[in-house]
Amino acid sequence: MMKQIVFLITLVIGFLAASQMAFAGGGATGFINAGTFALVIELGVALFVVFLAWIVKDKLKIGIPKLLQGVFIWIAAYIVFRVILQPPIPFTLLAVYMGIITIAIFLYCSIDPDSWEQFSEPIRAMLQDDTGKAKAYRYVTFTALPLLIGFGTYSKMVPKFEEPVELRTVHPAPPASINVHGEIIDLQRVLNPFRVDNEGKYLDVGKEVGDFKNNPFAEDASQYLKNVKEGGEIFFGTAGCMFCHGDNLDGKGMFAFAFNPIPANFADPGTIAQLQENFVFWRVTKGGPGVPRETFPWASAMPPWEKHLTKDEMWKVILFEYWHTEFFPRTFGS
């Protein structure tokens, strides 16, 4: 019973690690679909592995030595983290995950003396036995291990062409107020003046959902949708946002491949869906050069749009971005 519990815990840890990574990877490249998708795949793989283990052990009655089991799981995990998961994860993260896996395997194998006995048996045999087989294993291990570790040290030490690790804050804290075209705008209070209903009254966030599937080009479109349409025409025409943020607002526009950091992916739940509309307004008006040091103002190709667009146009673009991605801006309380 104990074994099963440990096994389950291992599974859950591995699964959480993998899913978190899938999400992180998804967020970094702006693929919500890939993120959730990866999650489902991880779950599928985990279930499949359990099922396969059950088939092999209980049904086909094939016993795999404990040590070999551990090695298999370790290698399988490495392949998943290193090869299958795309985009590749940084080495430091890989090291952490493989560390967790290693501990989990040792925990699983040393849960009771019997199990530990089974696990360490091949190692003991390799060291102690006098059979020809044991001797062969001994010679191989005793030569391979120092060579491998020596080579590993060498490849760690030899100078390499590597980028420095630079960690960038994606959503920095906004200022309390900003000055746009001579007007001081209180970022705590300002509301999108184009989020309005047909009577011109402010449309509470969430109420626009009925228009998400409606045609902004239709003649009977609501006032909200008409504003969305103007926003879309600015996004695609006047401003040309799609060159970077993409025709589907997924951050994969024509110039995106050339830029680092890559343009924000609005279709990902980690960007505008996490932000208040006025935060987005701040980022649009002040662009790359307007962010604090931790967000790398020197590297972002985002223009300060106050130089090119009116305030109204910027608000309409923001309205359009939420309509197109079908996200709601974040609100706090009333």
Q: Which residues from 111-170 bind other proteins, rule CB under 8 A?
A: 124, 127-128, 138, 141-142, 145-147, 149-151, 153-154, 157-159, 161-164, 166
Nearer to other proteins, 141 or 188 (CB): 141
* 261 prior amide bond cis, ω within 30: yes
Buried/exposed code over 113-151 (b: 16+ C-beta within 10 A; e: otherwise): eebeebbeeeeeebeeeeeeebeebeeeeeeeeeeeeee
Sign of CA dihedral 118, 124, 128, 133: positive
Window of 13-21, 67-75, 198-206, 309-317 that interacts with other proteins by CB under 8 A? 309-317
- Contacts to other proteins from residues 7-46, by CB under 8 A: 29, 31, 33-34, 37, 40-41, 44-45
Minimum Å gap between C-beta 300 and other proteins is: 8
Q: Is 316 in the site for other proteins (CB under 8 A)?
A: no
Applying CB under 8 A, the site for other proteins has a residue count of: 93
Phi, psi of 183 (to 5 degrees): -105, 130
What are the Cα distances from residue 146, in Å, to 123, 134, 279? 17, 19, 56
Q: For the chain, first and last CA: distance in Å?
A: 51
The residue among 295, 82, 7 whose CA lies nearest residue 286 is 295
Minimum Å gap between C-beta 334 and other proteins is: 31
Minimum Å gap between C-beta 120 and other proteins is: 11
- Contacts to other proteins from residues 220-279, by CB under 8 A: 232-240, 242-244, 246-248, 250, 252-260, 267
Q: Which of 15, 296, 328, 330 binds other proteins (CB under 8 A)?
A: 296
Using an 8 Å Cβ cutoff, are 257 and 244 in contact?
A: no
- Contacts to other proteins from residues 179-218, by CB under 8 A: 181, 213, 215-218
